[in-house]
Amino acid sequence: MINFLIQNAGWFAYLAALASVISAAALFIFFARGGIFGPINDGASSIQMLFLIPVALGEYEILRHSYTSLALVVALAGIISMISISILQGATVFRRVRYEKTLSSVLGMGAVLGGWWLINGWLSLATEMFPATFSWLGVVCGVSALLLVVGLKYGGRDHPLAVISFLTNALSVPIWTFWMGNILRA
């Protein structure tokens, strides 16, 4: 099963990029108009996280040759955060739990996910196994995810840090993920 996921990680990356666009668009519309777009965002986010798991495995396969232990720890942390976010977001879609009950946990796991992007971006820069622009884009994904968590936690969705980080993340994540799909398929 893991071999299947790694061998098809590029295709999963494309699907994660698409889910990321849907999630960000739905969240933007939800903040502007409300309604059904909140659950659409939660569902797309849950699916995006599931599609990112093979991407994390594929990236680990590349980085483990240079950073055996660190790459493993980072991959495991990233995958745990992806699974956790997927479960929590899915639980809100199926009305098993209210959004307010999951917010703190989703933010915490979002910070771990941001750390996964940030550290892997730095590792990929140091190994020169990826194009430098791609690696820096991974760093941007990580920093914007971390700053988004901080902005939401301490200022709410209308805080300038949350808004700027959301917009940066909404643009950088689908580009990074699609690009990673190309790298993993090459």
pLDDT by residue for the chain (186 residues), tens only, comes to 888 989 999 999 999 999 999 999 999 999 899 899 999 999 999 999 999 999 999 999 999 999 989 999 999 999 999 999 999 999 999 989 988 898 899 999 999 999 999 999 999 998 878 999 999 999 999 999 999 999 999 999 899 999 999 999 999 999 999 999 999 998
Q: What is the pLDDT of residue 74?
A: 98
Residue 53: the pLDDT is 98
Burial 83-122 (b: 16+ CB within 10 A, else e): ebbbbbbbbbbeeeeeeeebeeebeebbbbbbbbbbbbbb
What are the backbone angles phi and psi of residue 56, rounded to the nearest 5°? -60, -40
Burial class (CB in 10 A: 0-12, 13-18, 19+), 32: exposed
- d(C-alpha 95, C-alpha 80), whole Å: 22
pLDDT of residue 128: 78
User: Helix 68-93 crosses helix 99-127 at what angle (to 10 degrees)?
Assistant: 150
Give the pTM: 0.94
* Predicted pLDDT of residue 165: 97
The pLDDT assigned to 57 comes to 97
